[in-house]
Amino acid sequence: MSRRLLCTMAVWTSSSWRPSLTRSTPRLPCTLWRTFFADKGVRIPVMISGTIVDNSGRTLSGQTNEAFWNSVSHVKPFAIGLNCALGASDMQKYIANLSNCADCFVFCYPNAGLPNAMGGYDQKGNSMAEEIRPFCENKLVNAIGGCCGTTPEHIAAIKDMASKYEPRQRPVVEDLMRISGLEPLNYKPDPSNMRSTFLNVGERCNVAGSIMYKKAIIDGNYDKALEIALKQVQSGAHVLDINMDDGLIDGVNAMTRFVNLLVADPEISRVPFMIDSSKFEIVEAGLKCSQGKCIVNSISLKEGEDAFRANARIVKKHGAAVVVMAFDETGQAASCEDKVRMCQRAYRILVEEIGFNPQDIVFDPNVLTIGTGLAEHNNYGVDFIRATREIKRQCPGCKISGGISNIAFGFRGNEPVRRAFHSAFLHHACAAGMDMGIVNAAQVIEDKYELIDKELLEFVEDVLLNRCENATDRMLEYAQTLDPKCKPTAVRKKGTGAGAAAGGKQQSSWRDESVEKRIQYALVKGIDEFAVVDAEEARSCGKYAKPLQVIEGPLMDGMNTVGDLFGAGKMFLPQVIKSARVMKKAVAHLIPYIEEEKRLNGTSGENSHAGIFLIATVKGDVHDIGKNIVGVVLGCNNFKVVDMGVMTPPDKILDAAIEHKADVIGLSGLITPSLDEMVTVAKKMEERGMKLPLIIGGATTSKMHTAVKISPVYSGPVVYVLDASRSVPVVQSLVDKNVEQRQEYCDDIASEYNEMREEFYAGLEDRRYLSLADARAKKCRVDWADPINKPVVPKVLGNQIFLEYDMEAVLPYIDWNPFFQVWQLRGRYPNRGYPKIFNDATVGAEAKKLFEEAQVMLKDLVSKKALKLNAVVGLYPASGEGDDVLVYEDESRTTVKATMRGLRQQAEKDNNDPYMCMSDFVAPKDSGLADYIGMFACTSGVGLDTIIEAHKAAGDDYSYIMAESLADRLAEAFAELLHERVRKEWWGYAPDEKLSTDDLLKVKYQGIRPAPGYPSQPDHTEKSTMWSLLQPDVAASITLTDSLAMSPAASVSGLYFGGKCSNYFAVGKITKEQIDDYAARKDMPIDEAQRWLRTCLNYEP
């Protein structure tokens, strides 16, 4: 028996006697998985015991025992039971419930009755045994014992009674998706009527789905957010979706705080949570706080199978169910075939490799918008329905979900039409096997399919089921006749009585209005029949001196009206496209007259377009509907549009803008990570010194994010555009040939954004920062007395200069992956990365050819010594002093030669992690230890200019780009080689290190190599201190520009920290207090410090 106990891990969840105590159920199994099973690679039996606090039958944290079982069952415990709290008679019904749902052994340790007035227990052994007898008679338990008040007498009596009965047989529990909040949700679909068992996932606690909720979170008004959550549960939500993905929200902190508040509200937390984010650190934050068994939304194959497996394993550790989006490396699945293929591939990995219960897999095959006016979107609804049926067939046990509101996004603003689409879609998708969806719970309950107005339903289903080619046009015409605020079950036509008569008169008499009003009416209604006639009348009526004035006047006035109506939700995407068609037809008629006018004026060689607009969906995002519409609208307004497509890397966008001489750049994106990409593009524009106007648009963007995050990093004009129609007046203003008016417009926008930033930062109630003193008090405290942290004395102190270093010795350290990325060659799984890329069916042959040609050039560079590899490496005595590192002249440590200044983290953390600064990694003077710091600068670019000029003179662009890319790789490889030699030879703190090139590139060595201008020390001006010590400008021909960029460009520099305590970190945002302190320490004007550290400031200077 003792040996058996030694190999059993017992965990009590809430008891007066317990080996381990936790009040938050999911943390228990995660602790088991992470700290023992997963880390140790072993599996031992686990017994889990819970305590119910009173006759409510709930645990201390409020869960019913079945909800508790659902939360921990994924651990596959050896046994589960209840102990303490109640006497046997009161505990029986709860053990019966647990016995029915648990497929493992069940035990019970009741108290000896209830305590008396003095806290003691009066029930005797025989009496207790009789109370326990029904447990044995009904075969509820496999083990029985006693807790408070029991003695050996009690246990003997219980044993004597229980030995006469057969133990409980473990039941066969029906295989269902079993999730939980405080209460269990055991989902058992009814195949004959899936709509009746459909799970409503409440959508209003999603910052992308509710403006009111988003504002509450940004404002720190969590009471309001809780009201929204409660209303959804009260309205019939079975599961609560929680999403914090917004560029203005600290997702981890917001998710942590909100979920902690939710679990404290028993009315809300009785339902399971769906933790929803595209950023996995936010998902984990939500899971760690959630009480029951959650659903994670979502993971996908977008980043390949390795990332998919890693995320799936994390979800499984937390015991959560998971939503899998139909994405893979090629993008989002739109067709039925792609949806099925991607889901089947994910299912195989999850079930066969990760060990997921199929019941816990929820596929989202992408509900895409229909009725857009674009023919390629017409079958999206049918594709989803067909895919649902086939996925359920090929992936037994799985569930199907989706974002229902996406289906009719184009009809926002027209309540009866939009809600009818939702109802009809649910009816048909559920009939095919759909299990759940993110919905407005109250509306989908109210809008029963059978109650939808029959006439409306016919129009809706023509579009939904793609029953006829003109279904969208007919739907739009019918939608115009409805009161946009009525319900789909009680449709009202607008314009009844006198209003209808007036409406009829307007319909029959609009051709009698002025030409300007006729043009406006035709644009709003999308009537192109009279576009040429009206454009010609406007041109020849004598009111407009030039044909261009017709475009700039009545045609643009009409498009502005379209933009206002669309922005107000009174026009829909298909109508906007029709409006653009009218515009295009009218402009096409006017173009020959504009060209003729230019010819007569002697300017026929000029472009006839209004400007060149380059637009792209940013890297990592495959959504392009909005972008395409912007292109249509601007193209029809006489702009030349260069469409870069989707998933476009920043450099590709900017290179194309230069190539096509663009007047304006537009960025589009739908998913939250696209916000970061837009910031990156803006930063790269600034780095390149560009001044082109930058337009920001897309579903996930906002004016506030543009003002706070994008505008500050780019000195050119940055404008947020709400929708496609509004892009026209914005772009026209940005290319206005009247320089004074154009500048006035840009100044107005910049001024507005400055005000918005001030308001935003003033209202950051939930973003707290420690004072500098408090942050320093919570610094990373290294135990310098521990021998593991004892500094190693370098074997070589001072500077070492390397000129014309052997290039051949550097070649093995080259990381080829960035090389292929520069050339836009990326293999798909499983052929991503060097050398697997050569096997890729699409890019493999070209990658191999490129690589071989690179080897030829490398060989030539080596043989001719055409590039000189120069470097300076310095190792110096040093000590930490506060947030700085003192660098000494020599080992006497009497003269400080230079001081490396550091910045410390200040953003408040929710855990006990220290607030880091690089100086923490260097032993201070009072430690009694002599420590050191290193630094380096290296280049492979000396001689590169000569090579480039020769190739350019020969017209060989390919070769000069190849030379540049190889020089860049050589510089990084040279830095890697030098660092290895520092660790093994010159400093010598890791003399026995034996790492492969792959391990070196994965930073598996001791110590770090940070650089000024990067997260651990974001101040570029610290390079000046490095240059004063190393003097690489004199010794190695590596200079700094005014902006502190290194020249030659193929150069790398950084610092060396050798201690095992050192690690990479990001300083993040800092306060004005630290800027003042930092500027004083550096003897730098505050304005200059703020300029160099602008992106790190938690305020607007």
238 annotated active-site: no
Distance of CA 630 to the CA centre of its chain: 25
**Ranges assigned E (strand) in 167-284:** 177-180, 184-187, 199-202, 239-243, 273-276
61 vs 21: CA distance, rounded Å:
12
Q: Which of 42, 49, 106, 102 is closest to 74 using CA atoms?
A: 102
Q: Which residue has the tokens 């307004």?
A: 637
623 annotated active-site: yes
Torsion-angle region of 865 (φ positive above 0: left; ψ -120 to 50: alpha; else: beta): left
Structure tokens at 51: 């305590």
30 vs 1058: CA distance, rounded Å:
34
Strands 868-881 and 884-888: antiparallel
1047 annotated active-site: no
938 vs 1011: CA distance, rounded Å:
13
The set of residues, in sequence order, having a beta carbon less than 8 Å from that of 163 and lying 6+ positions away, is: none
- The count of C-alpha atoms lying within 13 angstroms of the C-alpha of 425, restricted to the half-sphere facing its C-beta, is 33
Alpha-carbon separation of residue 124 from 84, 85, 86, 92, 112 (angstroms): 16, 17, 15, 18, 7
668 forms bridges with which residues in the sheet? 617, 697
CB 71 within 8 A of CB 25: yes
Q: Is 990 helix (H, G, I), strand (E, B) or coil?
A: coil
Distance in angstroms between the alpha carbons of the first and the last residue of the chain: 71
Q: Which of 354, 359, 327 is closest to 341 using CA atoms?
A: 327
Q: Which residue has the tokens 């067709």?
A: 335
Q: Where are the alpha helices (DSSP H) in 290-379?
A: 305-317, 336-348
**Residue from 246, 621, 723, 840 carrying the catalytic annotation:** 621
Instruction: Give me the phi and psi of 279, to 5 degrees please.
Output: -110, 120
Which amino acid is it at 893?
R
**Residue from 623, 663, 979, 1051 carrying the catalytic annotation:** 623
Structure tokens at 796: 């070589």
Q: Which residue has the tokens 């079982």?
A: 69
CB-CB neighbours of 847 under 10 Å:
25
CB-CB neighbours of 64 under 10 Å:
22
239 vs 366: CA distance, rounded Å:
19
Cα dihedral 728→729→731→732 (10° resolution): 110
711 vs 706: CA distance, rounded Å:
6
CB 420 within 8 A of CB 382: no
Structure tokens at 244: 């914090």
CB 1039 within 8 A of CB 1046: yes
475 vs 845: CA distance, rounded Å:
50
CB 407 within 8 A of CB 425: yes
Q: Is 56 helix (H, G, I), strand (E, B) or coil?
A: coil
193 vs 188: CA distance, rounded Å:
11
DSSP character at residue 37: I
Q: How many helices (H) and strands (E) does the chain have?
A: 41, 30
Q: Omega into 1018 within 30° of 0, i.e. cis? A: no
CB 964 within 8 A of CB 857: no
**Residue from 579, 674, 1016, 1062 carrying the catalytic annotation:** 674
Structure tokens at 968: 């860049």
The set of residues, in sequence order, having a beta carbon less than 8 Å from that of 559 and lying 6+ positions away, is: 523, 579, 583, 633, 637, 725, 728, 729
Q: Is 1025 helix (H, G, I), strand (E, B) or coil?
A: helix
Annotated catalytic residues are 621, 623, 674
